[in-house]
């Protein structure tokens, strides 16, 4: 039995001010670093054999902070753009609460949560799934099948896409799924690469999704 630990990066500079970050690179805030360390404390009971993160700095900083907290300075670590956050296209950098007023609640929720709702010059969740899941199947799943424990740090929508695959969530139901800041998903996998159990751990967080 192996474990996959999935963690969302914590608060970035643009998360703090409510801007849609998407593929823009923004550093963690001081609060984000503090909470990343707390998330590390929450998984001290699980040995880590390998770690993955996106190519974006907020994800890399979160992973680095967690590994430092755990004292795992030599853990094999891989970064890939396949695990990057969703591209919000023309909405990137805009204040999401102002966009709520401009778009209306229904459209705003569709943009943020629906499976295949278009964003001008950006990606849908379906598009994110098309890059995250093949990468997971090629690089992460084989390690799990070997019995290794893997830590994966990514972004809200990239993780939602991964959850959809691992948990067999329907296109309709994925709109109700969120990955909270401070949230930690711990999946058990068997040697055939099938998820057998899910555990949720949560660090207290004041960041609004």
Closest by CA position to 53, among listed 14, 26, 84: 84
For the question of residue 114 being annotated catalytic, the response is: no
Return the pLDDT at 58: 97
Instruction: Please say whether the structural domain 2-46+64-186 has been given the CATH code 3.20.20.70.
Output: no
Query: Where does the pLDDT of residue 137 fall: very low under 50, low under 70, confident under 90, or very high at 90 and above?
Result: very high
Strands 2-8 and 77-79, how do they pair? unpaired
pLDDT(208) > 80:
no
Average pLDDT, the chain: 96
Q: Domain boundaries in the chain? A: 2-46+64-186
Q: Is 33 helix (H, G, I), strand (E, B) or coil?
A: helix
For the question of residue 9 being annotated catalytic, the response is: yes
**29 φ/ψ angles, rounded to the nearest 5 degrees:** -80, 175
Share of the chain above pLDDT 70, in %: 100
Alpha helices in 2-124 (DSSP H): 13-17, 30-41, 57-70, 96-103, 105-113
CA distance 169 to 188: 17
**Per residue in 158-203, pLDDT tens?**
999 999 999 999 999 999 999 989 999 999 999 999 999 999 999 9
Return the pLDDT at 207: 81
Give the up-direction half-sphere exposure of residue 189: CA atoms within 13 A in the CB hemisphere. Answer: 23
**Per residue in 7-62, pLDDT tens?**
999 999 999 999 999 999 999 999 999 999 999 999 999 999 999 999 999 999 99
pTM of the predicted model, to two decimals?
A: 0.95
Mean pLDDT, residues 91-96 taken together: 94
pLDDT(90) > 90:
yes
Catalytic entry in 10, 11, 61, 85: 85
Catalytic entry in 9, 10, 11, 61: 9
Mean pLDDT, residues 78-101 taken together: 96
pLDDT(209) > 70:
no
Question: What DSSP line would sit under 130-183, residue for residue?
Answer: HHHHHHIIIIIHHHHHTT--EEEEE-HHHHHHHHHHHHT--TTGGGG----TTE
pLDDT(104) > 70:
yes
């Amino acid at each position: 039995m192996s474990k996959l630990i999935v963690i969302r990066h914590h608060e970035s500079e643009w998360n703090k001010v409510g801007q849609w970050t998407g593929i823009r690179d923004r550093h963690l805030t001081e609060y984000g670093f503090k909470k990343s360390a707390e998330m590390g404390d929450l998984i001290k009971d699980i040995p880590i054999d390998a770690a993955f993160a996106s190519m974006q700095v907020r994800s890399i900083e979160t992973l680095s902070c967690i590994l430092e907290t755990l004292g795992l300075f030599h853990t094999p670590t891989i970064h890939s753009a396949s695990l990057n956050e969703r591209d919000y296209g023309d909405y990137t950098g805009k204040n999401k609460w102002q966009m709520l007023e401009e778009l209306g609640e229904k459209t705003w929720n569709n943009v943020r949560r629906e499976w295949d709702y278009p964003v001008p010059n950006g990606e849908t969740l379906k598009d994110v799934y098309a890059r995250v899941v093949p990468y997971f199947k090629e690089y992460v799943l084989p390690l799990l099948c070997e019995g290794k424990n893997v830590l994966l740090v990514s972004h809200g929508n990239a993780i939602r896409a991964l959850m959809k695959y691992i948990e067999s969530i329907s296109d309709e139901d994925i709109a109700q799924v969120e990955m909270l800041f401070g949230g930690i998903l711990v999946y058990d996998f068997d040697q055939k690469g099938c998820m057998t159990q899910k555990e949720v751990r949560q660090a207290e967080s004041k960041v609004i999704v």
